[in-house]
């Protein structure tokens, strides 16, 4: 089989030469004397004031004629996207977004042309299957600036995205999940072995790290039949997870000013500590891994792992699944498959620890079926309380924490009681919907799995319609079933095998929201329970 070439991958763009025009300022004076001595300083300051004044007048004039000027929101949000940038930069916008809607209502302006929505009625119109609302330019910062490069997550081309999903969604379908179960089982045993070594010690365990190591190794095993080795080594190999974090920070913030992305990326991609440099590192990591694994596979034969199946389709129908399709889909697995599942697993375990009655009830259901906790995927789908626990954990702590931005189509759109002109950017934050008391009741802030089991038919229908931890419509996460598989397999094993105690039981955990709402201090004491494994 021909080995795919990686020489044209979008990771070797030339870095423009940069020379700092700075000189030594060690002898420069400060204060009024310095102002007088530095030639042109006063003129520069005056020019800056004039430019700022003109900009402010222009923005105020623009706001005055805005057809949506009556939409409420923070005053500074009317003038520039800088206000939104400053809020996102704080790392807790999921909470801020909820507060904004509590203060201003179901439609809130958060920048001159961006509007956050928080009403179930808006979901069907903006995110329905046949919706013609395209993804906004914010997603541009999640891909290489070259126009011919795309991934399923960042692709704004509706037709191409639909075509890609049509070709490859079978690899992620519920019917395919059972074929990946053995890879999850293998990785689970490695994690439990490491947990056994750590359990009972006086020191706490950082569950965020270990669950991310697990999720990353699972996706490596599913994709290549080989885990990346994070669990085995117990560390961040080659700082790949740090690179993922830097990439999230870069894409989240630069996406607010997407016009900056091509220029910033061009300059920053050669700097290892930058978000753009992290993107290059991750792309090279994926490209090299594909090349190595492809070369190791002597034949396509029967499909086993994800890459095997892609290769099989490529061999039979190279026009249907090209080498670039293989690269793009594997990138999607690695980039999204680790972080989203790690956050979701953390949410499940954390909420179980904080709610011991739920933990005990779930544990009893598990041991009644299988004392060791080794539940099969098929068995898990017939365990209503397990599924309710997972569903409720992803409701109170969905992985993504920013609005899912979409652009109103040609001709505009009537959303709720407003007409939004074409080109307006609207979006719903999963957190605002999941904490909507009109849908989930006055106890929406409470972790209560029973709500999914005791609600009447109409209430359950409304809750399901507003439940969106994996997105909605044609943009629903392709890997959601794989993520659910991991949770359904690992959670029963952890619940049966260990007792957990939070290091800070009286304090809620801290999180950092740069697209993914990741816990930053999920430290626990772990004790091994008496069970057969």
Distances (CA, A) of 235 to 17, 189, 239, 404, 521: 36, 17, 9, 33, 17
Find out whether 161 and 152 touch, Cβ atoms under 8 Å: yes
Phi, then psi, of 407 in degrees rounded to 5? -110, 130
Helical segments of 261-305, H only: 261-268, 275-296
- Distance of alpha carbon 3 from alpha carbon 12, whole angstroms: 20
Task: Indicate if the alpha-carbon torsion angle 224, 229, 232, 234 is positive or negative.
Answer: negative
β-sheet bridge partners, residue 116: 108, 427
Count CB atoms within 10 A of the CB of residue 113: 17
Q: What are phi and psi of 502, to 5 degrees?
A: -70, 140
Contact in structure between 195 and 525 (CB atoms under 8 Å): no
Tell me if 22 is assigned to a ligand binding site.
Answer: no
Identify the H or E element spanning 527.
strand 523-528
Cα–Cα distance, 228 to 237 (Å, whole number): 8
> Secondary structure of the chain: what % helix, strand, coil (to 5)?
55, 10, 35
Task: Please give the Cα distance from 239 to 121 (Å, whole number).
Answer: 43
The CA-to-CA distance between both ends of the chain, in Å, stands at 42
Q: List, as one string, the DSSP characters of 339-368.
A: HHHHHHHHHHHHHHHH-HHHHHHHHHHHHH
> By the 8 A CB rule, do 465 and 438 touch?
no
Instruction: List Cβ<8 Å contacts ≥24 apart for 118-123.
Output: 118/428, 118/429, 118/432, 118/433, 118/436, 119/416, 120/433, 120/436, 120/438, 120/439, 120/462, 120/465, 120/466, 121/416, 122/415, 122/416, 122/426, 122/428, 123/428, 123/433, 123/465, 123/466, 123/468, 123/472
Q: How far apart are CA 308 and CA 302, in angstroms?
A: 8
For 115, the enclosing helix (H) or strand (E) is strand 114-117
**341 contacts: CB under 8 Å, gap ≥ 6:** 215, 218, 219, 482, 483, 486, 487
**Residue ranges of the binding site:** 477
**Residue ranges of the binding site for heme:** 477
């Amino acid at each position: 089989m021909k080995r795919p070439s990686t020489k044209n991958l979008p990771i070797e763009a030339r870095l423009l030469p940069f020379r700092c025009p700075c000189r030594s300022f060690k002898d420069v004076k400060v204060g009024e004397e310095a102002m007088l001595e530095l030639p042109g300083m006063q003129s520069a300051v005056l020019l800056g004031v004039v430019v700022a004044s003109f900009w402010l007048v222009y923005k105020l004039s623009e706001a005055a004629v805005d057809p949506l000027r009556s939409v409420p929101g923070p005053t500074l949000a009317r003038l520039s996207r800088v206000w939104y940038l400053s809020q996102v930069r704080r790392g807790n916008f999921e909470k801020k977004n909820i507060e904004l809607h509590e203060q201003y209502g179901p439609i809130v302006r958060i920048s001159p042309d961006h509007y956050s929505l928080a009403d179930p009625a808006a979901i069907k119109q903006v995110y329905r299957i046949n919706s013609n609302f395209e993804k906004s330019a914010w997603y541009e910062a999640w891909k290489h600036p070259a126009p011919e490069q795309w991934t399923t997550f960042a692709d704004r081309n509706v037709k191409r995205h639909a075509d890609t999903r049509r070709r490859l969604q079978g690899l992620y379908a519920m019917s395919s999940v059972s074929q990946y179960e053995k890879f999850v089982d293998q990785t689970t045993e490695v994690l439990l072995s490491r947990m056994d070594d750590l359990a009972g010690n006086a020191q706490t365990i950082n569950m965020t790290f270990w669950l991310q190591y697990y999720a990353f190794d699972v996706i490596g095993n599913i994709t290549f039949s080989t885990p990346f080795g994070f669990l085995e080594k117990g560390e961040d190999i080659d700082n790949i997870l740090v690179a993922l974090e830097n990439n999230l920070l870069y894409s989240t913030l630069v996406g607010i000013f997407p016009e900056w992305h091509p220029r910033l990326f061009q300059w920053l991609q050669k700097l290892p500590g930058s978000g753009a440099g992290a993107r290059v590192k991750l792309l090279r990591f994926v490209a090299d891994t594909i090349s190595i694994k492809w070369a190791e596979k002597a034949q396509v034969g029967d499909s086993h792992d994800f890459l095997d199946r892609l290769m099989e389709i490529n061999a039979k129908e190279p026009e249907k699944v090209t080498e670039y399709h293989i690269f793009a889909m594997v990138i999607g697995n690695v980039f999204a498959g680790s972080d989203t599942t790690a956050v979701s697993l953390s949410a499940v375990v954390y909420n179980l620890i904080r709610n011991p009655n739920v933990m005990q009830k779930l544990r009893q259901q598990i041991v009644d079926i299988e004392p060791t906790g080794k539940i099969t995927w098929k068995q898990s789908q017939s365990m209503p309380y397990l599924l309710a626990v997972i569903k409720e954990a992803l409701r109170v702590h969905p992985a993504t924490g920013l609005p899912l931005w979409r652009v109103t189509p040609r001709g505009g759109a009537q959303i709720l009681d407003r007409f939004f002109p074409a080109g307006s950017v609207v979006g719903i934050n999963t957190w605002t919907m999941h904490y909507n008391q009109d849908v989930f009741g006055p106890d929406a802030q409470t972790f209560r799995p029973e709500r999914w089991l005791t609600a009447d038919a109409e209430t359950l229908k409304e809750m399901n319609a507003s439940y969106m931890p994996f997105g909605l419509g044609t943009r629903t996460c392709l890997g959601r079933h794989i993520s659910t598989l991991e949770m359904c397999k690992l959670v029963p094993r952890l619940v049966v095998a260990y007792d957990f105690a939070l290091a800070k039981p009286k304090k809620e955990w801290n999180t950092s929201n740069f697209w993914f709402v990741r816990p930053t201090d999920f430290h626990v004491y772990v004790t091994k329970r008496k069970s057969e494994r």
